[in-house]
Structure 1
């Protein structure tokens, strides 16, 4: 009998892998709560110039001895979750679109693992905005670079729209199983607010990268911090950014639920 992708992950080693992957969701939850706080601080003018980015949030975690230990736990947890998603993309029998989404998630979580390791070893690698601008500058130098960067920007906008739709239509509930009946309303609320907020932030990042492609100017590209600043410049921007910060924190709390009840 052929071995199915599911059975390949059974047994004690598979159980340990699944626990590590679930821990990745929990670590992601803590990271999003910190990001929500930093984003809200930017809106309220109390951030002290601190960047609202995953690398900065991880840096704050690592400022104590306990935090340094937690960072290495994050490295392992994100790597486990990234490899789990990679296995789903490579081995599962889901439809092609689901495999592509699993591959995209694998890239995100493995990148977070690398970032956490870099911070744990004392290397920030520059701000998210600087990293985004450096990558865009490199890509613009390639043949067809503007098209490539534009395609990436449009893809990120698409991911933002996907998150908003997933939140608005409550499709994130398909990722969960066994949630206690009495907690359903709270989980739905956290997921809706969290996914929509993440979608708005991703849309802003994608729009800035697309603009950088159209103008062939890498300085126009921004990471999360630049996207938050661009939202802050809109009419009613302060309220929008505070709501996005609250949304990121809600997504973090939802991620804790997902760590326990995710359909793996």
Structure 2
């Protein structure tokens, strides 16, 4: 498929940069809420739905949620463009196809979050349901238990990949490094390493509970992002663990903001 150019590419650039900004704001909010919970200053352990609900309570909350929805739809469009036009040059072998399918899945997930924003604006609930309820629905279908186990393995693989990327700086090949000063490179590298590691750890916890839900055929065993953070809080030295991961998720939000500014988004 031919790559877009001119006005189409400019639209793709705007969509991608707005998308990374919106994604970054969600993770910064998730991390901030968890940090406030650790410090006993309110807050809570939650995922994207809780982050969106919190942003909606702020001054000009409706404006924030509207901008967030626009950004997330933009991120969805960028992910689909990555898959269709092979912007990352992943190729058409089995690894490339799987990677590009991952882009599509990521786009669908963030489209769901964007729809959640719209529902909240329309006062029609704004809740996408719990992880356990979604797991129960999938497991009720033939082959659903196997599907949940495979999804868990998928989260495990993504989590491990995130940690690997954080420590090997593979993300830098997608940045316009020539536009960054030496100080910016150093800060961006450290923020990205911390953020990707924290997100990888959380994804691996989510993977563990999804696999357990499949093995035990019990949907209530499944945990989403918020559930994974709560599990950390319940461990020995839980507040310290949760605090470190919360700071890591804030750092991941920073990594997204670096992508919003410096990432190559040519389709």
TM-score by length of 2: 0.88
Name the structure 1 match of 2:155. 156
Between the aligned partners of 2:143 and 2:102, the Cα distance in structure 1 is 26
Query: Which is further off, 22-31 or 59-68?
Result: 59-68
1:186 and 1:37 mapped to 2: Cα distance?
20
- Measure how far apart 1:64 and its partner are: 4.6
- Number of equivalenced pairs: 256
How far apart in 2 are the matches of 1:64 and 1:169? Answer: 38
Matched, 1:146 2:140: no
Task: State the Cα deviation string for residues 178-223 of structure 1 (Å, max 9, x = none).
Answer: 3413211100000000000001111111111111111111111121
Q: Paired residue for 1:245?
A: 246
Unaligned runs of 5+ in 2: none
Segments of structure 1 that go 5 or more residues without pairing to the other structure are none
Residue of structure 1 in register with 2:90 after alignment: 94
**Structure 1 position 65, deviation (Å):** 6.0
State the distance in 2 between where 1:18 and 1:224 align.
29
Partners of 1:235 and 1:191 in 2: CA distance: 27
Per-residue CA distance 1:80-130 (angstroms, 9 max, x = gap): 12112112212325322442332233223222212222222224454x7x5
Q: CA RMSD of the aligned region, Å?
A: 2.0
Corresponding residue of 1:226: 227
How far apart, in 2, do the equivalents of 1:124 and 1:162 lie? 35
For 2:31 and 2:191, the matched residues in 1 are separated by 13
Matches within 5 A, 1:123-202: 123-126=124-127, 130-178=129-177, 179-182=179-182, 183-202=184-203
Trace 1:1-264 onto structure 2 (pairs within 5 A): 4-5=2-3, 8=4, 10-47=5-42, 50-64=44-58, 66-92=60-86, 94-95=90-91, 96=96, 97-126=98-127, 130-178=129-177, 179-182=179-182, 183-264=184-265
- The TM-score with structure 1 as length reference comes to 0.89
